[in-house]
A and B are shown apart, each in its own frame.
Chain A
Amino acid sequence: MFDDFLIRATLAGVAVAVAAAVLGCFVVWRRMAYFGDATAHAAILGVALSLGLSISIFTGAIAVAILMALIVTGLSGRGYAEDTLLGVLAHSSLAFGLVAVSFIPDVRVDLGAYLFGDILAVGKTDLLVIWGGALSVVVLILWRWSRLLMATLNADLAFASGIHPRREQLVLTLALAIVVAVSIKVVGALLITALLIIPAAAARPFGRTPEAMAVGAVLIGVTSAVLGMVAAYQLDTPTGPTIVSVAALLFVLSNLGRLVLRR
């Protein structure tokens, strides 16, 4: 039987999976994978600051994630290729975060919990914050769905329809920061991008429209979260990596399925 903490963990996993899957479609369509990495790694710096200042890690992570996203947006197009810039920022913020954590006195910080998640330690308050964050991301994206799609298709076309591509980019940036902040406890900073990208990519072969792909991504994400929880419990493996492993297997199956169907 599932104990209480297992139910909490599963609910947290499902919430994060849904939000990450919906946002993940845009991450895939707009080729923002590295951007997601940079934001997620910056969150470790946020965690270090939160521990140092004794504030909620959600607050710290979201603040630094937004700051990072704004820095990236501000610096892009100024001499370095985007992937170089993101590489510099992603890895240096991770390094600074790890260094910063080591300065924190008294607390024996288990870094692994933030790098790879510690879903079984999700408390009732955490669960509320995670569901709140995940729901707000889903609502935000559904509300702006058409505008986000237009901005993704073509900036000029968006402009001609009275849509500002930069504003929509900002919406995605904000959503990304929220998803990163609520995912840290569930899959950890290093695997957040996986949860964004893999379900969306796995849903691609079966979607004929953006909406169909997003629904597919949600189904695959939720399946990965639930199966991953069960598998981690049965096999006594770390939960976050197990969830991502299940998602990766579904990605392989989905692509094999397409090959078979095409015959």
Chain B
Amino acid sequence: MSLVQTKDVAVSFGGKQVLSHVAVAIEPGEIVTIVGPNGSGKSTLLRLIAGALKPDRGQVIRRPGLRIGYVPQKLQLDPTLPMTVRRFLDLPRRCPDATALAALQEAGVSATVKQQMADLSGGQFQRVLLARALLVNPDLLILDEATQGLDQPGSAAFYKQIETVRDKLGCAVLMVSHELHVVMSASDRVICLNGHVCCEGTPDVVSSAPEYRELFGTGTGGALALYRHEHDHAHHHHTHED
């Protein structure tokens, strides 16, 4: 059984249709990346799957007892809020020291345990967020543009860490990213989203799909075309199971 499955899901905010007819499924242990232009509903889909949002139409089916670890975009921590890494891992529920340390080790930042969150580098900060997500021993790890603000080597190292974690813990990983060249190589499967699922498959299948090329262009691996996409293209002829 899939970990999570969405069936013909639709969401709109303030009359604007953000997602329609979205049917995706996440299988145990796979790394799935959602790509798509700004405003294509990537974060919305993540929130639906994480259960932070209810669909207007359709269903989100989670495997019973599914444990989800969530890594948000870089948080803005107010400098007036003192917070050690150790204390942060106790939110919202306290965990034993050994569990906290093990999670920090998995994420590669065990040395930071006594530091203030505000003193961490961008890469360390994201790894602490990753460690926190690992505390629940997740079946599914969800990352929402978790490498925003990291430089290229930093984010490459972060994705490498994600792969290591997956290999060791066997959890599935679902992430949104703008860094096409990196995620394309690190993913088992790519879902190309633009309000609906344009195309999905292994990275090479998707990157050669006409829908993907229309969204992201070809020559640069798509990175340049990413923000230029304005029009909604016309290929709403997908068939989805109902």
Residues of A within 8 A of B (CB): 28-31, 146-147, 149-150, 152-154, 156-157, 159-161, 163, 200-201, 204, 207-213
Contacts and interface: CB of A to CB of B under 8 A. Distances in A.
A153 B93 contact: no
Contact of B82 (A30, A146, A152, A209): A209
Q: Pick the 10 closest A-B CB pairs, nearest first.
A: A160-B70, A159-B52, A154-B75, A146-B92, A207-B82, A29-B81, A156-B72, A209-B87, A28-B80, A150-B92
Interface in B90-118: 91-93, 116
Nearest to A201: B80
A10 B153 CA distance: 60
B119 to A, nearest CB: 11
B52 A156 contact: yes
A204 B80 CA distance: 7
B144 interface: yes
A208 B70 CA distance: 25
Given A147-B92, A154-B72, A154-B75, A160 B82 contact: no
A213 B83 CA distance: 10
Q: Interface residues of A: mostly helix, strand, loop or mixed?
A: helix
Contact of A159 (B50, B73, B83): B50
A150 B73 contact: no
Interface of B: 47, 50-52, 68, 70, 72-73, 75-78, 80-84, 87, 91-93, 116, 142, 144
Given A160-B70, A209-B82, A209-B84, A149 B91 contact: yes
A156 B73 CA distance: 9
Contacts of A153: 75, 77, 81, 83, 91
Contacts of B51: 160
A160 B87 contact: no
Nearest to B50: A160
Contacts of B70: 156-157, 160
Given A153-B81, A201-B80, 11 more contacts: A29-B80, A30-B78, A153-B75, A157-B72, A159-B50, A160-B70, A160-B142, A161-B92, A204-B82, A212-B82, A213-B82
A149 B144 CA distance: 21
Nearest to B79: A204
19 contacts: A29-B78, A30-B78, A147-B92, A153-B75, A153-B77, A154-B75, A156-B47, A156-B52, A160-B70, A160-B142, A163-B92, A200-B80, A204-B82, A207-B82, A208-B116, A209-B84, A209-B87, A210-B81, A210-B82
A160 B92 contact: no
A160 B116 contact: no
Contacts of A209: 82-84, 87
Contacts of A152: 78, 81
A170 to B, nearest CB: 18
B72 to A, nearest CB: 4
Nearest to B68: A160
A204 B116 CA distance: 13
B84 A208 contact: yes
Contact of B47 (A28, A31, A159): A159
Contacts of A31: 78
Contacts of B47: 156, 159
A3 to B, nearest CB: 40
Contacts of B83: 153, 209-210
Contacts of B75: 153-154, 157
Looking at B47, B78, B81, the one whose CB has the most chain A CB atoms below 10 A away is: B81
A161 B69 CA distance: 9
A240 to B, nearest CB: 25
Given A150-B91, A161-B92, A210-B87, A156 B82 contact: no
Contacts of A163: 92
